[in-house]
């Protein structure tokens, strides 16, 4: 009897499943034959506006392996920090609008940040940091998030940016910090920084205001509402020459007055860090739900880098005989990050070096070239 009932139950269940399958196929065929009504076409931002919220993120990243922060056309060959963040957003499948992405500081290749701020429209009410950090490389982490107004722009609304240029112990030992601070004080205020930047066709002028600059034994901190392309690295190049005794602090005044870029080596980008960005009113940052994960991540990363440093130090100490003193001929110019430029030639003061073409002339030539191409 039990065997009959069990066989009937299996047959009945198979029959029921078969009927359900046929009903589904019939419904699909019926829908396929119904003519589709035309859909109203709206832009993606309009369709998603009700479900998205503008969110700001504080980003920490080691910029050494990246070709700057802002995304490039060829991300596979030239990876950027912004590109990796957008890839992580795709991986999480969180709804977002990449066209609304804005950033406070467009840091260059090799430059890092601990207080970079970005913003974009995203799906509301989700654990942003825990979700995104899982898909980011070890050199990038979102540290905090903040809800902001729908019109917030991380670059345009930023009131000031603070950069730090870190000095490694070997470099710091060779520098006169007091002389560097005397020279740095001449940067304060509003000046034409044409002699302290790289030419960019998009820059209409080179007037910038330095609101604070401090020289310490382990770093130089510079604060301003905005900066020019390579401005901080150019400033550090001149401060290094002054700190080594090659130049007088008055060189800063001479270059600011001349408004001409001289031929001098550019400081290394790797010690440069975007330390903080300020807004008015200040952003109300929300921490991660599990902050211990961020602490453990950066602690592990720091330990790994310390291990590299100890191995390099052991290699340095193994050199026999030890190098002491300076070479008889030539000189070495500090570039930061342990790098230096060695030459056997006699040192040439900056003011006696070749001056690059002034930026107004470059802009006129570029404008004339564009007109010729159009013609």
CATH domain 166-272 topology = Alpha-Beta Plaits (3.30.70)
d(CA 276, CA 215): 17
Residue 192 CA, distance from chain mean position: 25
**């961020």: which residue's tokens?**
294
Domain layout of the chain by residue ranges: 52-147, 166-272
Query: Which backbone phi and psi does 196 adopt, to 5 degrees?
Result: -130, 45
d(CA 305, CA 318): 20
Six token digits for residue 308: 């590299």
Predicted local distance difference test score (pLDDT) of residue 48: 45
d(CA 362, CA 342): 31
Q: Please tell me whether residue 37 adopts helix, strand or coil conformation.
A: coil
Predicted local distance difference test score (pLDDT) of residue 11: 54
CATH domain 52-147 topology = Alpha-Beta Plaits (3.30.70)
Six token digits for residue 350: 């900056």
- Tell me how far CA of residue 37 lies from CA of 30, 34, 40, in angstroms: 15, 9, 10
Rg (CA), the chain: 29
Q: Catalytic one among 17, 97, 99, 108? A: 108
* Strands of 237-371, DSSP E: 272-279, 331-336, 339-343
Bridge partners of 121, per DSSP, are 54, 97
The dihedral formed by the CA atoms of 61, 64, 70 and 74, expressed in degrees to the nearest 10:
-130
Catalytic annotation present for 108? yes
Q: Would the CATH topology of 52-147 be identical to that of 166-272? A: yes
Within 10 Å of residue 22's Cβ, how many Cβ atoms? 10
- Tell me how far CA of residue 12 lies from CA of 3, 5, 7, in angstroms: 14, 10, 9
Pick from 198, 172, 336, 342: nearest CA to 269: 336
Q: pLDDT tens, position by position, for the chain (375 residues)?
A: 444 444 544 455 555 556 555 554 554 444 344 344 443 333 444 444 558 999 999 999 999 999 999 998 899 999 999 999 999 999 999 999 999 999 999 999 999 999 999 999 999 989 999 999 999 999 999 999 999 999 999 999 999 999 999 999 888 999 999 999 999 999 999 999 999 998 877 777 899 999 999 999 999 999 999 999 999 999 999 999 999 999 999 999 999 998 888 889 999 999 999 999 999 999 999 999 889 999 999 999 999 999 999 999 899 889 877 665 555 567 888 899 888 888 878 899 999 998 876 666 655 655 555 544 444
């Amino acid at each position: 009897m039990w065997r009959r009932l069990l066989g009937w139950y299996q047959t009945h269940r198979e029959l029921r499943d078969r009927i359900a399958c046929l009903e589904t196929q019939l419904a699909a065929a019926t829908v396929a034959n119904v003519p589709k009504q035309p859909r109203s076409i709206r832009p993606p931002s309009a369709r998603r506006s009700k479900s998205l919220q503008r969110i700001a993120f504080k980003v920490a990243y080691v910029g050494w392996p990246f070709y700057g922060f802002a995304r490039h056309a060829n991300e596979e060959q030239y990876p950027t920090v912004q590109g990796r963040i957008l890839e992580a957003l795709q991986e999480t499948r969180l709804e977002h609008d990449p066209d609304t992405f804005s950033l406070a500081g467009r840091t260059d290749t090799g430059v890092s940040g601990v207080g970079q701020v970005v913003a974009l429209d995203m799906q509301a009410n989700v654990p942003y940091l825990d979700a995104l950090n899982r898909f980011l490389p070890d050199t990038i982490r979102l540290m905090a998030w903040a809800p902001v107004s729908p019109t917030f722009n991380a670059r345009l609304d930023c009131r000031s940016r603070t950069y730090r240029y870190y000095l490694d112990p070997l470099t710091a030992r060779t520098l006169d910090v007091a002389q560097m601070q005397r020279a740095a004080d001449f940067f304060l205020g509003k000046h034409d920084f044409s002699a302290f930047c790289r030419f960019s066709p998009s820059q209409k002028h080179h007037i910038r205001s330095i609101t604070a600059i401090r020289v310490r034994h382990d770093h130089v901190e510079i604060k301003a509402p905005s900066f020019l392309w390579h401005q901080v690295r150019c400033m550090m190049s001149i401060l290094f020459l002054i700190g080594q005794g090659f130049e007088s602090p008055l060189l800063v005044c001479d270059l600011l007055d001349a408004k001409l870029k001289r031929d001098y080596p550019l400081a290394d980008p790797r010690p440069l860090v975007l330390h903080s960005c300020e807004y008015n009113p200040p952003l109300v940052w929300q921490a991660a739900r599990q902050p211990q994960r961020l602490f453990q991540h950066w602690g592990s990363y720091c330990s790994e880098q310390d291990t590299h440093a100890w191995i390099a130090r052991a290699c340095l100490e193994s050199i026999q005989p030890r190098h002491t003193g300076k070479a008889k001929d030539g000189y070495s110019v500090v570039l930061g990050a342990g790098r230096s430029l060695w030459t056997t030639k006699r040192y040439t003061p900056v003011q006696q070096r070749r001056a690059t073409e002034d930026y107004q002339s470059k802009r006129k030539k570029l404008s004339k070239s564009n007109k010729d191409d159009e013609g």
